[in-house]
Amino acid sequence: MPRRRTSVLQGSCPGRPVSLAVVLRRLIVADAVRDPSGREGDAVLVTGGRITAVGRSGDLRSVDLVEERFPGATIVPGLRDAHLHPVGLAALLQRPSLKKAADFDEIASILAAAERSLPPGAALTALRLDDESLAERHLPDRHLLDRVSTTRPILVIRYCGHVAVANTAALALCGIERGTPDPTGGTIDRDAAGDPTGVLRETAIEPASEVLRPLSAPVTPEHLIATAHGLAAVGLTGVGAMVAAGGGQWGGGGSELDVVVAAAPRLPITFGVMVIADDPTELESAAARLAAAGGKVRFTGVKMFSDGSLGGHTAAMHDGFSDAPGERGTDRLVPGASLAMARSALRLGGRVAIHAIGDRANGSVLDLMETLIGEGEDPSRLRIEHASVLTTADIARFGRLGVTASVQPAFLASETTWLEKRVGPERMKRTYPLRSLLAAGTPLAGGSDCPVEPPHPLWGMAASRDRCGLVPAEGLSADDALALFTSGSAAAIGEVAALAPGNAATLTILGGDPITATPDELRRMKVLEVWVDGEEVVVPEGTVVWRE
Ligand SMILES: [Zn+2]
């Protein structure tokens, strides 16, 4: 983070000692304060960890306080990302990424280079496979990965996390063969002879990642702490952290939850953890571990799945995909069990966040949430993750029920070239319908789903406005885009983002004005500082934020 601060101690004179109480009163002065709750001015007065006033610096200035000036900058509430996989991002920063590979040959050479550096017996896991950007325009199979090694297990995970490809050695190790049945909520792709091709979809990935995890290099608490500093560098003061209690495909080594709990006391930003668990017992013990973890980590609820992804053709749709008419996706909601899991998260004081991409999946999740609301549950504790393709009736139902749509505008940036091919021109009008959801009265929360997309909230804000050219009528205003990643995302993880007296001094200082900037200016805008509870997060030199 570039530092552009000048500090002045008002009224201090040489030789006069400055008491601690004096130093703890700080006036942060920029060109403007932008706050969705409506407060205006150019300065924020901070006493200890709290905001004590917001307004014009000329009115707030007084003797014996430290003034920190940021010319050209804007103070906004701390930016939050309501849906991010921190251990997945830490894993990405350690492992090969295939997002930039041009074709199958390049995939093989990236994997071969990584394979050479691994010790004997270790598994090779690579991330961010994207068949849509490969010359071949389809997924590779086990035969391509077998070119890299026939003995070392290899698992390559698609960037959406809902599809993976295993080589023959990995399939053998986890016992997937010709007669293996598809698991509930998943598919093992097979060739004309009935043999597994290596492509595993949805829950079919789990046995492979279970078996390979102990053979993969672990993500350590140090990796996660460095990753969290990178998140602060892009302006985030808190995240809705999606974390698997029992393993998780991105973790490697122990479970994702183990890594978060071990790192908790040293994490610089808040982690509102949404736990991915197998059953209510596992959820309850995860909640207890998080409550005892300390630091800025807390239990925030449960994360569940109702379908897959648009990219992987596993999103549950009412009608077939436009480019695969016979395919209507994968249902992952288990009626009784899903409701029981949701109820136990609410009982533990948490929220319920359910992944739904297709219009059929969103309908089923709204049904489930309507049941919970009918039982007296608070709709502000219920979130649908992604809410990608919706029927017109369900857009209205979102608003009527008051269920939060937790959206990731950055998906538009990576789906620009193929989204319409997948859903067709008619459904395209109600895919990521941000403005219509807002107009219906739906609470919106912004996120990235990183490492599916980059973690930068300013990029997400920009995409929510210009939609990378896709159905521009569904774009948000600059004010709504700022609210999406401040008040909206904060509310979805149980935090308050308003710059109001009495609130924690959790704020982000931007190198420009997010309201007057164009979307492209927003994409280039610098983050100057991030403060959490009155303390500046110092990002170590050389911290890596992201890589494609
Ligand atoms: Zn996710």
Q: What is the pLDDT of residue 18?
A: 44
Please enumerate in sequence order all residues whose Cβ is within 8 A of that of 184, keeping only pairs 6 or more positions apart, or say none. Answer: 203, 334
pLDDT of 335 reads 81
Give 64 Cα–ligand 1 centroid separation in angstroms.
47
Fold of 80-86+218-496: TIM Barrel (3.20.20)
Report how far ligand 1's centroid is from the alpha carbon of 271 (Å): 15
CA of 326 to the centre of ligand 1 (A): 26
What is the domain partition of the chain in residue ranges?
Answer: 1-78+498-542, 80-86+218-496, 95-215
Distance 520 CA to ligand 1 centre (A): 26
CB-based contact 139:133 (threshold 8 Å): no
Say how many Å lie between the CA of residue 243 and the centre of ligand 1.
10
DSSP, res 431: B
Q: How many A from CA of 242 to the centre of ligand 1?
A: 7
Distance 179 CA to ligand 1 centre (A): 31
The enclosing H or E element of 17 equals none
Q: Would strands 404-407 and 382-386 be described as parallel, antiparallel, or unpaired?
A: parallel
CATH of 95-215, one of 3.40.50.2300, 3.40.50.460, 3.10.310.70, 3.30.450.20: 3.10.310.70
pLDDT number for residue 8: 59
In terms of CATH architecture, what is 1-78+498-542? Roll (2.30)
Q: Rounded CA gap, 96 and 111, in Å?
A: 7
CA of 175 to the centre of ligand 1 (A): 28
Going residue by residue through the chain (548 aa), what tens digit of pLDDT does each one get? 444 556 655 444 444 444 444 447 899 999 999 999 888 999 999 998 999 999 999 999 988 899 999 999 999 999 999 999 999 999 999 889 999 999 999 999 999 999 999 999 899 999 999 998 999 999 999 999 999 999 999 999 998 888 999 999 999 999 999 999 999 889 999 999 999 999 999 899 988 888 888 888 889 999 999 999 999 999 999 999 999 998 666 655 568 999 999 999 999 999 999 999 999 999 999 999 999 999 999 999 999 999 999 988 999 999 999 999 999 999 999 989 999 999 999 999 999 999 999 999 999 999 999 999 999 999 999 999 999 999 999 999 999 999 999 999 999 998 999 999 999 999 999 999 999 999 999 999 999 999 999 999 999 999 999 999 999 999 999 999 999 999 999 999 999 999 999 999 999 999 999 999 999 999 999 999 999 999 999 999 999 999 88
Residue 154 alpha carbon to ligand 1 centre in Å? 23
Sheet architecture: strand order including 50-55 = 6-9, 66-69, 25-29, 43-47, 50-55
Q: Give CA 85 to chain center in angstroms.
A: 5
